[in-house]
Each structure stands twice: as structure tokens, then as C-alpha cells.
Amino acid sequence: MKRKKTIGIWIIVVALAMSIAASPLCAEDGLQTLRQTSKAFTAVAKKVIPAVVSVYVERTVEVRNPYGYGSPFEDEFFQRFFGPRFQRPSEKQIQRGQGSGFIISSDGYILTNNHVAGQSDKIMVTLNDGREFEAKLIGADPKSDIALIKVDGDNLPVIELGDSDSLEIGEWVIAVGNPFRLAQTVTVGVVSAKGRAVGILEDAEGYEDFIQTDAAINPGNSGGPLLNLDGKAIGMNTAIYSQSGGYMGIGFAIPINMAKFIKDQLVNSGKVERGYMGVGPNRFGLTPELAEEFGLKNNHGALIASVIPDSPADKAGLQPDDIVLEYDGKEVRDWNSFRNAVGMTAPGSTVNLVIWREGKKITVKAKIGSFEDVPEVAVVETKLGIQVQELDEKLAREFDYKAGSGVIVAEVEPDSSAYEVGIRPGMLILSVNRKPVGTVKEFNDAISKATDKVLLRIQTEYYTQYVLLPLK
């Protein structure tokens, strides 16, 4: 018994001794891992910093009041003296701005943001080695906030473009740029989320598919690269979420695959042509309640609420109530991801869609169209909050209207005055301010001549009425 007890004690002692001896080794292993990680960040920084540039821009704007902003009292004084229609003379002023960019070809192509360089009269680029170049704007795309500029140079340092589709949540990323004019600043973080749509490009009807990261991004970082540990650009730093104007732990980058798509088109043609399907979304998306109603286990997918006649979707046989689950082999998370996928497909391409229809999956082939082939639409959201299109023979048959007798309402903004008085898609506008309109051009002309309000004569399936709307 004593012998067994002694053996047991020795086993405990040996185990303690081994753990004590191993502790410094474990600590050293941990430090070594941290050193290796630090070296990886350092290697990436050394590799890419020469190709990250400062972008300085100038733009000439007209300012109505050359004496400063003034006060309401000053404006009232001048209007009393010169008359109620008096406006102070305008003068041209130069606005200056600064951002970042990164070189993607040895002959001088540089990616940056549209909000950095897209509206500029003069663009200057400064490299890390101090060289300065005047850059030319090749093209810009407000819908994605991407711009492509070029300098004349040879053998310039380049950042290789990676694959943003392969990026994983939690993966280390490195942001490089020139925040607050502090050139070549490097910050490190992880990918917090993918596929973010945050509404910052809504005014341009933009395409948002942001990478969210906690790597510090600040004013001036815009246009700089977001990199993986291989030193490849997997995104372009674009925006921050902030209540103070500074870093709050949430930054957004455009996926590099989207930037590649835009860049290739700007290089080849100087403009961006996106794919067009011709379907409309459900206003509130595919909610969990709707998904359950349609017999789906989750609410991943894009619920189609409307199909435009003669559109690629109509020709492919898509129907309202269809739910798109996959687009060309990739899962469709929601309407935004579906819209992005269509937009980044070259017109003329044929794609496979997996559709959920009446409780089962079916596969549909669709040939993607171009927005250049879409019937002309009058966009007057800033005045009425509606969109109209011409009444062709097919639409006339569908809605039982007389072809050429007016323009048909295509969309109505939910918070507009038009919506409040009951105007809805499918209604026919026969006249504007008692002048008949049979084409989009006639409608646009009539609206442009209106001052503070418009009188519309509207026909529906059941009645014809007059509606008086204020102009915003």
C-alpha cells in the first residue's frame, strides 16, 4: 500500500515538474507566433507602400455670395435695396481635396474613389518616393463610387489584385492610405462582415456590396487599398460609420472584384455597362414570415414582385412570386446581392437561375440584357416621386388602354405626395396641366415647364380623375 502511495506521489511531482518546465516554452511559442504575425504585417507594408499614392484634386465651382456666407439680415438688406429678385453676383472658387489611390499597372493606371477624383478639373498624384505626376481621369462610376485615373510612367510599383469572393469573415486585413494628410499610414484589423449595403450610394442608385472591417479607416483613406496577408488588394477603402467624423471601429471597402469589373469597362470603353434583368423587388424584401408562407426554411433569396414586359426576365419565363435562390451557381442572400450579381454580368451573357416556385426548385436560363435597351423612362423623383414609361402595344393590351394615349406609371416613391393621393404603378397619365402627353419626351417637357404644382389627368381600369400635385 505504501509503495502504491509513493508511486502516486512521484507521478504528481513529475507531472508538476514537467508543466513548470513547459510553461516558459509555451510562453516562448506564443511570443514566436506573435513575432511571425508582426513580421507578416511588416512584409506586406514594405511590399505595398511604394504603390499607394496620395491623390490631390481641384475643382472649380460657382459661389453665389463672393463675400462669404453672410446672414439672413444682409440678404434682406440687399433684396430691399435692389429688389426681391436680387441675387448676389456669383464668382468661381477652387475647391481642393485629398484622398488615396493605388497603382494597378506599371504604366500608371490607378484605382481610387469617384468621390475623390470623379468630379475634378485637376488631379495630382504623389508617390511614396516623392515623385509627382499630373493624372488624367479615364472614367468614373458614381453607382459604385469607383474612378480610374492614369499617370504617364514606366516601371511603376504595382499592387496585385486579389479575389474578394474568397475573403473570409475573421480574416486579417491591412488598410493603407493617407488619412488627415498623414501619408502611408498602415492599420490592421479583421473582416467583420461581407455583403453590406448601408445606403451611402442611394442618391446614385448605387450598387453596394461592402466589406466591413475594424481596420482603422479615416478621412483621407478613401481610395486606398485593403489588403490580405499576401499583400494583394481585396478591397478599396471607401467609407466609415461615424458619429464624430473619425474612426469608430466600422469601416467599409468596395470588393476588389467589383472594382475589377468597373476598371475593365472603363479601360475598354470609358463607360460602364451593367447587366439588366427587368424585375422589381418586394418593398420589404423576403421576410422570415414570407419565407415561411412560401415554404422555405430560411429567408435567403430574392423575391420577385414584378416583371417588366418584354424584359430579359419576361423572355426567360420569370414570374411574380418567384424567389431566386441561386445566380449562376452562387447563393443569392437577398435582393441586394441578386441586383449586384446581375449588374456585374456582361450584357448578352446567359446565366442559370435556381428559382423557388410553388414549393419546388426549378432552373431557368436567362439572357442578360443591357440598360441601354430599356425603354426610356422619365425619372422625376425630385419633383413628383414617380417614374413613367411609354405605353407600347403590349402594355396597352395588358392594362386595356389605348396605345399612345398617355404614359404609364412605372414606379411611385412610397413617401411621395403622388403616393399619398393614391397614384400607383399601372395608372395612365393622360395629360399634364391640361396638355395631352403621349410620349416620355412630352411628359418631361410638360413637367419642366411647371412651376409650383401640376394638374394630372389620370386613367385607371375603373375611372378617370384629375389630381393636383405640388412640386417639391
CA distance 118 to 108: 17
For residue 47, the SS3 value is helix
pLDDT at 302 over 50: yes
Task: Give me the percent of the chain exceeding a pLDDT of 90.
Answer: 42
Pairing relation of β-strands 132-141 and 464-470? unpaired
pLDDT at 66 over 80: no
pLDDT at 8 over 90: no
The secondary structure of residue 376, as a DSSP letter, is P
pLDDT at 431 over 80: yes
CA distance 389 to 407: 6
- CA-based max dimension of the chain: 115
Upper half-sphere CA count for residue 413 (Cβ side, 13 Å): 13
Question: What are the angstrom distances between the C-alpha of 155 and each of 55, 82, 104, 149?
Answer: 19, 61, 11, 17
Residues carrying an active site annotation: 115, 145, 222
Q: What is the pLDDT of residues 245-297, one digit of tens each?
A: 666 778 899 999 999 999 999 999 888 999 999 887 776 688 898 888 889 99
Q: What is the pLDDT of residue 444?
A: 85
Buried b (16+ CB within 10 A) or exposed e, 315-344: ebebeeebbbbbbbeeebebbbbbbbbbbb
Q: What is the pLDDT of residues 105-116, one digit of tens each?
A: 999 999 999 999
Find where cell 411628359 sits. 443
pLDDT at 77 over 90: no
CA distance 433 to 399: 24
Average predicted confidence (pLDDT) for the chain: 83
Residue predicted with more confidence, 160 or 63: 160
pLDDT at 343 over 80: yes
Find where cell 475573421 sits. 170
* Residue 162: all three cell numbers together: 486579389
pLDDT band per the 50, 70, 90 thresholds, residue 381: very low
For residue 346, the SS3 value is coil
Question: What are the angstrom distances between the C-alpha of 467 and each of 139, 299, 412, 414, 417?
Answer: 43, 39, 15, 17, 11
DSSP string, 198-248: -STTGGGT----EEEE-S---TT-TT-EEE-TTS-EEEEEEEE--SSSS--
Q: What is the pLDDT of residues 181-221, one digit of tens each?
A: 777 789 999 999 999 988 888 766 789 999 999 988 887 88
Beta strand segments in 156-198, E: 172-177, 185-196
pLDDT at 49 over 90: yes
pLDDT band per the 50, 70, 90 thresholds, residue 463: confident
Its pTM stands at 0.70
The answer to whether 238 and 253 have CB atoms below 8 angstroms apart is: yes
pLDDT band per the 50, 70, 90 thresholds, residue 425: confident
pLDDT at 378 over 80: no
Q: What is the pLDDT of residue 4?
A: 47
